[in-house]
Amino acid sequence: MAFMSPTDSLFLLTETDKQPMHVGGLLIFGAPEDSTSSDLINQALEDRRVSDFLRNVAEPHFAGTAWTWRHDADIDFDQHVKRHQLPPGASEGDLLALCAQLHSERLDRSRPLWEIHVIEGLPLDRFALYAKIHHSVADGVAALSLLRSRLSDDPDIREMPAPWVDAAPEEQPSHSGAGPLRSLVSLVKDGVSTAPALADMTLRSLASRGGPLSISAPKTVFTQDISEERAYAAKSWPLERLRLIAKSADCTVNDVVLTMCAGGLREFLIEMGELPRKSLVAMVPVSMRPQSDDTTAGNQVGLLTCSLGTNIPDARERLLHVSARMREGKNFIASHNATQNLVTSAAAVAGLAPMVMLGRNLLVNPPFNVVISNIPGPSEPLYWNGALLEEIHPLSIPVSGLALNITCVSQCDRISVGLTAASDVVPEPDEIAVDIDSALDELERSVGL
């Protein structure tokens, strides 16, 4: 029995039917080289073995304030792995709509907190996997590392196990739990050591100098209560386009990603007649893992807030503004240790907890307007029994008061942006995806490309 960290437990404590706390990924594969996708899927579904890591059930303790993992030796395979057939002539929009529907459905806590949906019927004998896993189990970096361990960079390898089967022993993720007394002692020690960091965070927020805390975000159309229904859109671009902009403007690719999203949100809100005079603020998760291939279960994520410059008409000036704010935030992280960064991040969003737990927006002005994550994915082509992984599209978590979540994943020479929204607030997030595409064109022109 392993106790969860307070961060991991929080995703269970704040979950409601309207706010499922799982993340997801849509993986699109090309046709296998020497068989059909149907044959490959049939063979995989015959293997009903399940990884030990995927047999853990969350259990509450101390009136639900702390949670542990319990191993389940006899899970119901058919409740976790399911097969879908798209209708003839189905489009990518139909695939994304199916994923939005599946992403709306809360995971059953009486079972291990994951599902994998195998989806057939894509053109050219392609197929897809939509996988979702509770955020208490893994953050985005750990989930992608787990994915990487199930695939191969060798297109000629066959007889690979299904994604739900055990990986090699050295690639197995592990839960890093501790006893409740030890966790309490550590928390007290950490509280003493993080007091200066919390003071620094507060002073930076008052001076608008970057860091985890923001007190300047305006109210927007996204600051609403939400229903349980989800809408989803995804779009991808060659990564080289972003690299050239970053080189021309002497900034990072992540700065370009944030500014693309800022430009898209600005245009979307202008079209609605709802652009605030003050800049939107993004919450930007930052991995605190020591290595990008770390598969330790749970969450090791710090947070930064970043003014997106949506009140700046010029695209290049907006990019320079975002880059400067992110540089200030990174300086904050660099000047504190991992524990301090995790604690200050938790403190910065503590005010959201009652709102999230009640499923109602209780704030006149939110601390930030949108979550924008950028997760590094595999840098080399990956295969599953000869089928090339062509695309990865991420899905994430909207909550009341934050009805839109934007998550980006890079893969080889492309980057994908997934927009997960509460459909009653943002019924057509594909409109924002189109505006982000236009914002990328605008950024290229602004730096002379």
How far apart, in whole angstroms, are the C-alpha atoms of residue 348 and residue 215?
Answer: 10
Cα 198 from Cα 237, distance rounded (Å): 39
* Residue extent(s) of CATH 3.30.559.10 domains in the chain: 2-159
Within a 10 A sphere around the Cβ of 310, how many other Cβ atoms? 28
* Contact call for residues 131 and 102 (beta carbons, < 8 A): no
135 catalytic residue (yes or no): yes
pLDDT of residue 13: 83
The pLDDT value recorded for residue 428 is: 95
pLDDT (average), residues 52-67: 81
Q: What 8-state DSSP symbol labels residue 298?
A: B
Tell me if residue 407 falls in helix, strand or coil. Answer: strand
**Mean pLDDT of the region 110-138:** 94
SS3 397: coil
20-42 tens-digit pLDDT: 999 999 999 999 988 999 999 99
Question: Mean pLDDT across the stretch 280-298?
Answer: 68
Query: 2-159 has which fold?
Result: Chloramphenicol Acetyltransferase (3.30.559)
The tens digit of pLDDT for each residue in 89-112 reads 898 999 999 999 999 999 999 999
Per-residue pLDDT tens for 191-244?
A: 455 555 445 445 455 445 555 455 568 989 998 889 999 999 999 999 999 999
Task: Evaluate if residue 67 carries a pLDDT over 60.
Answer: yes
128 CB-near residues (< 8 Å, 6+ apart): 26, 27, 28, 29, 95, 118, 119, 122
What tokens appear for 4 in the block? 């969860």
Q: Name the average pLDDT for the chain.
A: 83
Strand ranges inside 149-279, DSSP E: 230-238
Measured at the CA of 171, the angle between CA 166 and CA 176, to 5 degrees, comes to 100
Q: What is the pLDDT of residues 144-159, one digit of tens each?
A: 778 778 899 999 999 8
Rg of the chain (C-alpha set): 21
E strands within 4-74?
Answer: 22-29, 56-61, 66-71
Would you report the helix, strand and coil content of the chain in percent, each value rounded to 5?
A: 40, 25, 40
pLDDT in tens, 69-80: 888 888 999 999
| Beta carbons of 233 and 436 less than 8 angstroms apart | no
Q: Rounded distance, CA 300 to CA 197, Å?
A: 18
**CATH code, residues 192-377+395-446:** 3.30.559.30
Q: At what angle do helices 430-446 and 315-334 cross, to 10 degrees?
A: 100
- Lowest average pLDDT, out of 134-138, 178-182, 278-282, 409-413, goes to 178-182
User: Residue 290: which of 300, 298, 299 has the closest Cα?
Assistant: 300
- State residue 409's pLDDT score: 95
Asked if pLDDT for residue 10 goes beyond 90, the answer is: no
Outline which parts of the chain fall under CATH 3.30.559.30.
192-377+395-446
Choosing from 22, 117, 135, 393, which is the catalytic residue?
135
Percent of the chain at pLDDT > 70 equals: 77
Residue 179: pLDDT over 60: no
68 CB neighbour count, 10 Å cutoff: 18
C-beta neighbour count of 263 within 10 angstroms: 27
